[in-house]
Structure 1
Amino acid sequence: MDALLVLARPDDDLTAVLAVLEGAAEVRVARTETADELDAALGKGAGAPRTVVVVGGDGTLHAAMAALHRLGLLGETTVGLVPLGTGNDFARGVGLPLDPAEAAHVVLAGATRATDLILDEDGGVVVNSVHAGAGADAAKRGEWWKTHLGIVGYPIGALLTALRPPSLHLSVEVDGTPLSLPHTHVLQVAVGNGPNVGGGTELVPTADPGDGVADVIVSMPKGLWSNLGYARDLLRGRHHERNDVTAARGRTVTVSGAAAGEEFWCSTDGEIEGPHRRRTWRVVPQAYRLIVPDGPRQAQ
């Protein structure tokens, strides 16, 4: 097998992962915290092209993919993922085992899959999903709980947001077709490359990071009881069946504040960004090769 570059944070415990990988391949470990450190580890002077193994959660994967895109190396790099985060949502969506040692075995024996990436107009990447409105609000409100309680922070943030939801009027277009009108109150907009957020909640259940399109949902419940009902159905995985939720699929998605100067925040692969008045995302099909289990995808 080709030499492996393992990317990890400085305090990650790699004992179980390296015990698997070093028995079958030459391994170099780069522990990085900043974008400059990632660029130095991944740059052509470091020996690209290569197989890069990202050890961490969705945020770590996002940072690594952003660096590969920034350096123009996506098309010549095979990416392996060993989940070591809180939510591990992208790993769940592609069927990777959540046990680090088992995921390391997939790196050695799995199959490569051409995988899509989403880019915004500034060149920023979306590996798994981006959402605005209630999803971003829930991420902000659940951040303290996530830090102290782990995965329990996700539903706490969702409940707090359902009780006091953001008030937004957003215009949403998919491939130029409107999904919401400027006067419509929107609770949440989600653009999914992968289906899961918040540690396994299927926000965009039909999203598949290998089908060449993004899956979009626009949620438009009205009033407290409708908001609570939406939160309940979201946790049950049935929100997309509601008559106040609209869905579409496409290559380009634009979200803009409908009122003059109205701003919104986004949660991009779990990282809060903004405020924005307008944002456009486009799918880059088959942007890179991802190592996945060799066989039918298993739900996590």
Structure 2
Amino acid sequence: MSAHVPAGHSLLVVIDPAARATDGESVRIAKDVLCAGAASVKMAFPESAEEAERALTHRGRRHLVVLGDDAALLRTVNVLRRERTLHDSPVSMVPIGPRSTLAHALGVPAQVPAAARAVLDGVERELDLLVDESGGIVLGTLSLPYGMPVAHTAAHWWTPVEKTARSLVRTLTSPIPVNGSAPQHRQRLRVEADGVVLADLDEPVHEVSVRPAPTGLAEVSVRRAPGSAQVSTRARTVTVSGRDFRYRADSAITGPVRTRTWTVEPSAWRLTVPR
């Protein structure tokens, strides 16, 4: 269900340091569009994770706008969820940076002017969220197994010594070193959807994908071999277990773990998209 964004609203615009470093012109365009159309605009220029969290915590009644890429969006949703204000604090996004596929998939325009205009006259769309027992979240797609990668997560934006924006950009935008672009071998995994076993440890699994569906359930797909037919279902909870497996949750690679359960939180957050 969608709601109209209030006309003439006040904005808090949080500008990610990597966005400023990689594409200052897009940041300027977004600021010009937002300042021309909003009743008032407060700009925040965090240089650390702590500064970004303080800006979000002290946003007051202002409508939150993030200028950055998928990592900035994920970080924002995580902070709001920890505050228990996620559903009450709609998020608007202007994608700026090389890693913005998640924002686009969720309905945010790829072009900066169009995304900025959607902030001003779009609608708020309620979206589901996948949450695991450790507090990890998935906005878009969960996929596994994932070979033996070196994990690069959103935490790499904030290096402990050099916190300049350009060093942060170099860290995150460098290719993730993996042993090839896909898992090198199939893995034995037990996959359960609402208690129903879709795959077990007696046979290798080529691919498992889980994503929130617009029904309050997750879409679960299991493929046993490359090119084979996949088994698909919808479920509220998904449990995967196996020997030291890794998985990709949106842009972050996590693991190894031996078991993990994801549960759908229906209508957990709101994102501004075009009408």
TM-score greater than 0.5 by the shorter chain: yes
Secondary structure of the corresponding residue to residue 81 of structure 2: helix
Distance (Å, rounded) in 1 between the aligned partners of 2:147 and 2:113 = 31
Structure 2 contact 12–59 (Cα < 8 Å) conserved: no
Alignment of 1:110-121 (within 5 A): 110-121=122-133
- Distance in 1 between the 2:148 and 2:249 partners? 8
Instruction: Read off the aligned partner of 1:218 and give its amino acid letter.
Output: V
Secondary structure, in 3 states, of the residue corresponding to 1:42?
helix
Count of residue correspondences: 244
Q: What pairs up with 1:107-256 in 2 under 5 angstroms?
A: 107-134=119-146, 137=149, 160-162=180-182, 165-193=184-212, 208=213, 210-221=214-225, 226=226, 230=227, 242-243=228-229, 245-256=230-241
Give the residue type in structure 2 aligned to 1:19.
Answer: D
Shift in Å at residue 113 of structure 1? 1.2
Q: Which residue is 1:280 aligned to?
A: 261
Instruction: Please list the CA deviations of residues 84-110 of structure 1 after superposition, one character each: whole Å capped at 9, or x if unmatched.
Output: 232422222233220112100011111
Separation (CA, whole Å) in 1 of partners of 2:121 and 2:252: 31
Letter in 1 for 2:196: T
Measured after TM superposition, the shift of residue 132 of structure 1 is 1.8
Any conservation in 2 of the 1:52–1:77 contact (CA below 8 Å)? Answer: yes
Partners of 1:134 and 1:166 within 8 A in 2: no
- Give distance in 1, aligned partners of 2:47 and 2:145: 29
Question: Which consecutive unaligned segments of at least 5 residues does structure 2 have?
Answer: 1-7, 153-169
Is 1:37 matched with 2:51?
Answer: yes
Cα distance in 1 for partners of 2:181, 2:110 equals 28
- In structure 2, relative to structure 1, the CA distance for the partners of 1:136 and 1:54 (3 Å cut) is farther
Q: 1:49 to 1:117 in 2, by over 3 A?
A: farther
1:31-54 residue CA offsets vs partner (Å, 9 max, x unmatched): 3354422321111xx143432112
> What is the TM-score of this pair, normalised by structure 1?
0.73
Distance in 2, Cα, partners of 1:246 & 1:48: 46
Aligned position for 1:60: 72
Return the letter of the residue paired with 2:236: R
Equivalent-residue separation in structure 1 for 2:142 and 2:119 (angstroms): 26
Structure 1 residue 20 corresponds to structure 2 residue 37: no
Given that 2:93 and 2:119 are in contact with CA atoms closer than 8 Å, whether structure 1 keeps it comes out as yes
Instruction: Summarize the Cα distance change of 1:266–1:30 in structure 2 as closer, same or farther, 3 Å threshold.
Output: farther
Percent identity for Structure 1 against Structure 2? 34
| AA matched with 1:283 | V
Q: Which SS does the other structure have where 1:19 is aligned?
A: helix
Structure 1 residue 2, shift from structure 2 partner = 2.0
Distance 2:132 2:195 in 1: 16
C-alpha distance in structure 1 between counterparts of 2:91 and 2:55, whole Å: 14
For 2:147 and 2:60, how far apart are their aligned partners in 1?
37
SS class of match (2:107) = coil
Offset of residue 139 of structure 1: 8.3
Alpha-carbon displacement from aligned partner over 1:248-278 (angstroms, at most 9, x marks no partner)? 2111111111xxxx10112122111111111
Deviations for 1:9-46, whole angstroms, at most 9, x for unmatched residues? 22422101001000112222223354422321111xx1
* Aligned residues: CA RMSD: 2.8
TM-score w.r.t. the length of structure 2 is 0.79
CA distance in 1, matches of 2:104, 2:193: 26
Distance 1:71 1:171 in 2: 34
